[in-house]
Structure 1
Amino acid sequence: MVFDNNRLDEAFNLIDKGIEDGAFPCAAVAVGNKSDFLKIAVKGNKRIVPYKEMLNRTSLFDLASLTKVVATTTLLMLMIEKGFISVYDKVCEYISSFNEKSKDRITIFQLLTHTSGLPAYIPFYKICRDYDDAIDYICKEVELRETKEVEYSDLNFILLGKILETVGGDKLDKLCKKEIFDPLDMRNTLFNPGNRDVVPTEIDKESGEVICGVCHDENARFFGGISGHAGLFSTIDDLVKFAKMLVNYGEIKNEIFLFYPLFKRMITNYTESLSENRGWGWVIKGNTAAGGDLFSKKAFGHTGFTGTSLWVDPEYGVYIILLTNRVHPTRENVKIIRFRRLFHNAVLASLDGRS
């Protein structure tokens, strides 16, 4: 399918309106298809307190929970391809202490689809000594919830990050760089960006300083900035490379990055009869409101707490990347939720399926 350029321009004008309405201070946006069509916009001020500073195309955004799919899920898929791990392995095969309070029955599949019964969130930075202590706390102290529904949980991906480090024999950041970011030429995608050109997030309540150069997520920051659930930073151009691989079913520049049978399994809806549609790591559109009104049922994507999102529609052959810092200067701003739906609708409405 091709885009009607005039209608797509109108869709991109919504970014200016989103900034004016205070949905976010800045945005880096990309829309593309399976071929070479690409439209990118970079607008607004990346910082508005205590002074204003314009967003650059090379600025790095805190991806928050996009880490779960760009880093952790993708690395797991590559490990599956190599025959190192299976989604039907039990978690306790890799973390031996994860065997109390019925946890010995939990599989990697359940972590990936958020059907493990682990709670959504625990403030480890308040109750644990360090990363290893948090893993130990999940294994020995946390109880599974009696639910057959999807319950989105950071704990699932904290455990997956630990499992991947065990399988790969190295830290998660190094494994992701070697297996994902270098092969896809994502040179500006990393954990712990430090003093690079980073988009600021929230004002820290304790210090009163704007968080910049370290991840916004308190647990991931407590873990040293590296975790399976959050901590990754990237640019709009790097995520375009990643999205082009996804929209082409695992291929990039006529080379296979993820093999087709694995890719298809990754984006299958395994929880269609439950409260939320989930593939391996990814949200599947199905009949839910996720992503907007016009994506096909086969579309898949994910969001990040800081105001980031990536959606791919394999049926229409398009992807939409929306990077914002909606938490700057405060996380109380939730206007992104509705804006995201409206913007996605306008972009998809510009597709001409008759061409």
Structure 2
Amino acid sequence: MFQINRRLLAAICAGIVISGLVACFSVFGGKSDSFSLPHLHPREEGMNEQALENMDAIMEKAIQNGVFPGGVVLVASKRGIVYEKAYGSAYRYKNGNKTPSENPIPVNSGTVYDIASITKLFTATAVMQLAEKKQLSLDDPVARYLPLFGVNGKEKITIRQLLSHTSGLPATLPLDRLPGDREEKLALVFTSKPVVKPGSKMIYSDIGYIVLGELVRKISGISLADYLRTNIFEPLGMNATLYTPPFNLRSSIAATEDQSASRRGMVWGEVHDENAWALGGISGHAGLFSTAEDLAKFGLAFMNRGEWNGKRILKPQSVDEMTRLQTGHIPDAFRGLGWELSQDWYMGPFAANQAFGHTGFTGTSLFIDPKRDVMVILLTNRVHPTRTGPNVSEVRKQIAEAVFSSILDK
């Protein structure tokens, strides 16, 4: 069964348990309903339990080889969690020299991770919700809503192009090394120049998703953090998902990188991504913290075509649009809207063509194979204490292969 992170629960909730539901005050300060996902026996979902347990050796070997200090693996069908297990340490080292901490903190299944670029999926979902309400059209020019954006050859770039990483915008900008406050840095983002002709190439762009986060803020009239809380996190009971965690949650959060060179020291409990940090921790491209179970709630909404636990966050047509190929006109580009499609480098070679997912630089990943009714989540802090360790993608792939090998008659 789900192992409750008691420090996190004590820090964020004050409530009672009734029929498996926890009524609590969330980290955001508002009242919300939190619920634990059902835990199912693998056999009920056509999976072999012993085959799933092969993931133990994969994770333990990765920890021994220094790929990451710890992590959480979660496997689910569209009805609930089939397998969930925590490994290793959430905090192990005092510095980038790998000096061991006198007080290491073990991972449990409720450990909160900096999910890095998986944040983009929530931004994309927010944009689709606004499209459903006809507050924007995906094929509108971005400049219709953000006039400052419409300069330097970006006048015709559409919202759809930002969502599918085909806007031609640069992959990133060194916002953390540039002067100015948040608004001045955003002005640099808005006035940036495309590096290729819009629509001609897929360039994975954090800059595009920073713009999308500001688009949500402009159209909704509230901050991106408030929008996601109200329209996604609260409906799905994702009470451990947030931007800018308060300091008292630090012991429940996996530490990331020693950035002493930039005077940040050990980054722990604040966003790892430098540009999100430069923007105050809240951005459309990175900055969210979450747990495996909270991400599973989000994933289950997509597995069930926009709805989970009686709460609908998207229409089925929007889910279809987000998870269909949007970049067929561009060679070797496999993007939906927010989601990445059919990538065997982390989904494994047995994932169906319909599979969709996303990764995060900190060592996180989530993918869904709707044909085989399976979701795989891997949360690690592979950048603790530095980003120079072995490649985590091989572990992602091995975990995926172990999951697919467990599936019976699918």
- Structure 1 partner of 2:108: 56
Aligned to 1:30, the other structure's residue is in SS state strand
1:1-355 alignment runs, 5 A limit? 2-50=46-94, 51=101, 52-69=104-121, 71-146=122-197, 148-195=200-247, 196=249, 197-206=252-261, 207=263, 209-272=265-328, 273-285=330-342, 289-353=345-409
Cα pair distance change 1:76/1:12, threshold 3 Å = farther
- Segments of structure 2 that go 5 or more residues without pairing to the other structure are 1-44, 95-100
* Greater length-normalized contact order (CA 8 Å, ≥ 6 residues apart): 1
| AA at the equivalent of 1:278 | R
Distance 2:297 2:56 in 1: 20
- Segments of structure 1 that go 5 or more residues without pairing to the other structure are none
Contact 2:202 2:333 in 1 (8 A): yes
- Over the matched positions of the two proteins, sequence identity in percent amounts to 35
Cα distance, 1:208 vs structure 2: 6.9
Runs of 4+ more than 3 Å apart: none
Distance 2:107 2:323 in 1: 33
| AA at the equivalent of 2:206 | D
Cα distance, 1:136 vs structure 2: 1.4
Cα pair distance change 1:208/1:94, threshold 3 Å = closer
**TM-score, with structure 2 as normaliser:** 0.82
Cα pair distance change 1:26/1:97, threshold 3 Å = same
Contact 2:350 2:401 in 1 (8 A): yes
Aligned-pair Cα RMSD in Å: 1.6
Cα distance, 1:265 vs structure 2: 0.7
Number of equivalenced pairs: 352
Distance 1:201 1:115 in 2: 30
| AA at the equivalent of 1:232 | L
Distance 2:264 2:128 in 1: 40
Contact 2:236 2:311 in 1 (8 A): no
**TM-score, with structure 1 as normaliser:** 0.95
Cα distance, 1:37 vs structure 2: 4.5
Distance 1:30 1:89 in 2: 38
Contact 1:4 1:350 in 2 (8 A): yes
Distance 1:174 1:88 in 2: 25
Residue by residue, what CA displacement relative to the aligned partner does 1:2-32 show, whole Å, maximum 9, x if unpaired?
2111111113431112112211101011001
Cα pair distance change 1:110/1:127, threshold 3 Å = same
| AA at the equivalent of 2:386 | T
| AA at the equivalent of 1:54 | P
Contact 1:168 1:175 in 2 (8 A): yes
Residue by residue, what CA displacement relative to the aligned partner does 1:185-242 show, whole Å, maximum 9, x if unpaired?
0001000013202110000133373111110011111111000000000111211211
